Amino acid sequence: MFKRLFQLLFLIVILYAAKPLWEGPVSKYVDLSFLDPLDARVETVLDEELIGSVLDYTKQSIAKVVSFISNKTAESRVPDEVAQPALETPTQSLISIHNIEIGMPEAEVKSKLGEPMRKSVNEYGTEWLTFHQDYQNFVMLSYDIKRRVNAVYTNDRLISSSLGIEYGAAKADVRAVNGEPITEIRKGTNIYKLQDDEGMDIFHSDGVYIYVFYDLHQNNTVTAVQLISDQLEQRKTALYAPQNDAMRKGFEIQLFDLTNAARVRHGRSILTWDDKAAVAARKHSMDMAVHDYFSHENLHGESPFDRMKKDGVKFVSAGENLAYGQSSSIFAHEGLMNSKGHRDNILIRDYQFLGIGVDFNDKEQPYYTENFFAK
């Protein structure tokens, strides 16, 4: 009997404590003046110490719920759409990205894009400078020793060209204008045969290598473009970049930015970097590289979820993507986006956090691990 009475009392106190939350909206439709006597009644009938403690508990609970909802909203924020720049016809070359052309001086780039969001080492031995507004108008570019653009990439609607290459263009239309893609790159006395990759074409025109990436899940249409100057391409004499800590960190943060740019492009929220998940991911990449295997389950039978828990990651849902052997973060990301299961992980709406770990085997081949989760 006392238990039921306490439950009824607790319910009344909850409604009373929450009155400021519902009183305003409800009063627009119902005259609540009849509750005034009840307010006084509640305060005199209920024991002051009891109501004080229950009210405190209730208010704390309400505050926690409000805080939880606010945090969830912030963590799952889909950025407001920003204006895209008016694209101009390239003046010095046949193709530009975000009105940036190969050979453009740094001062002119700064006048168009401002300062970069971050810098990171890339596989060409230079730095990717990353520009975006909440991962919209996303661009990465590199400078040569004279501070002129020698590489630029985007996976946004920022491509202007006279070559039929633009975001969303059909692969057949691109090839109709540019012919068949090249199948090899000559570097000095060496010839590098290019793998037949249905998700990518490489064209060579006007002193620029044009890497065109296609979305196999969007009718083979252009989803990203990378421009590399002849001079920079010739500098990269090996398929894989030398392994070092700066390269590892570069690949990790580039893959993180590329993933967020893709999520925003598809109407998803921006993920937050998580250090613990990154540690778990890096350990798995290192383990695969050292012990020469490629699997979500390690040699001790541990799943991605086991490994994440072991490294202190608390989650209600989680997923893992793996990639191996791609010579850059861009190639790894575009490959993952063209693989159904990996793409689904990248675009899951409920995910809030991401940690990425990269390591290299003795042949300098990179292993990429992405750990997604929500909590």
DSSP string covering 267-314, please?
A: TPPPPEE-HHHHHHHHHHHHHHHHHT---SS-TT---HHHHHHHTT--
Condensed to tens digits (0 to 9), the pLDDT of residues 203-213 reads 999 999 999 99
The residue type of 122 is: N
pTM: 0.79
Task: Say if 181 falls within a structural domain.
Answer: yes
Pairwise CA distance, residues 314 & 291, whole Å: 28
Query: pLDDT value at position 79?
Result: 84
Do residues 276 and 361 share a domain?
yes
Do residues 229 and 254 share a domain?
no
- Bridge-based pairing state of the strands 353-360 and 272-273: parallel
Q: Comparing C-alpha atoms, which of 108, 110, 88, 107 is closest to residue 99?
A: 88
Pairwise CA distance, residues 211 & 95, whole Å: 12
Task: Say if 315 falls within a structural domain.
Answer: yes
Q: Of 34-38, 62-66, 172-176, 331-335, which gets the smallest average pLDDT?
A: 62-66
Do residues 45 and 151 share a domain?
no
Do residues 223 and 316 share a domain?
no
Do residues 367 and 253 share a domain?
yes
Q: Comparing C-alpha atoms, which of 269, 244, 230 is closest to residue 79?
A: 269
Q: Which residues pair with 185 in a beta bridge?
A: 192
CB of 372 within 8 A of CB of 304? Answer: no
CB of 117 within 8 A of CB of 130? Answer: yes
Task: Say if 37 falls within a structural domain.
Answer: yes
Do residues 201 and 108 share a domain?
yes
Does the pLDDT value for residue 280 go beyond 70? Answer: yes
Query: pLDDT value at position 148?
Result: 98
DSSP string covering 342-373, please?
A: HHHHHT-TT--EEEEEEEE-TT--EEEEEEEE
Does the pLDDT value for residue 66 go beyond 50? Answer: no
Task: Say if 86 falls within a structural domain.
Answer: no
Q: Comparing C-alpha atoms, which of 297, 295, 288, 276 is closest to residue 353?
A: 276
Helix (H) or strand (E) holding 337: helix 329-337
Task: Say if 295 falls within a structural domain.
Answer: yes
CA angle (83 as vertex; 79, 84 as ends), nearest 5: 110
Do residues 204 and 129 share a domain?
yes
Task: Say if 76 falls within a structural domain.
Answer: no
Do residues 253 and 334 share a domain?
yes
Question: Which pLDDT band, with edges at 50, 70 and 90, does 158 fall under?
Answer: very high
Q: What number is the average pLDDT over the span 288-298?
A: 97
Condensed to tens digits (0 to 9), the pLDDT of residues 131-148 reads 999 999 999 999 999 999
Q: What is the CATH number of the domain that holds 194?
A: 3.40.33.10
CA 140 to chain CA centroid, Å, is: 14
Condensed to tens digits (0 to 9), the pLDDT of residues 237-251 reads 888 999 999 999 999
The sign of the CA dihedral 307, 312, 318, 321 is negative
End of a domain among 71, 87, 116?
71
- Backbone region of residue 347 per phi and psi (left: phi > 0; alpha: psi in -120 to 50; beta: other values): alpha
Helix (H) or strand (E) holding 327: none
Q: Comparing C-alpha atoms, which of 203, 201, 206, 207 is closest to residue 231?
A: 207
Task: Say if 81 falls within a structural domain.
Answer: no
Do residues 111 and 221 share a domain?
yes
Does the pLDDT value for residue 282 go beyond 90? Answer: yes
Beta strand spans in 12-70 (E): none
CA angle (134 as vertex; 164, 324 as ends), nearest 5: 70
DSSP string covering 121-162, please?
A: E-TTSSEEEEEEETTEEEEEEEE-TTSBEEEEEESSS-EEES
Task: Say if 78 falls within a structural domain.
Answer: no
Do residues 334 and 207 share a domain?
no
Question: Which pLDDT band, with edges at 50, 70 and 90, does 88 fall under?
Answer: confident
End of a domain among 235, 270, 296?
235
C-beta neighbour count of 63 within 10 angstroms: 10
Do residues 32 and 118 share a domain?
no
Print the domain residue range for 158: 95-235
Do residues 199 and 273 share a domain?
no
What six digits make up the tokens of 295?
A: 């699997």
Total domains in the chain come to 3
Question: Which pLDDT band, with edges at 50, 70 and 90, does 12 fall under?
Answer: low
Q: Of 17-31, 119-133, 217-231, which gets the smallest average pLDDT?
A: 17-31
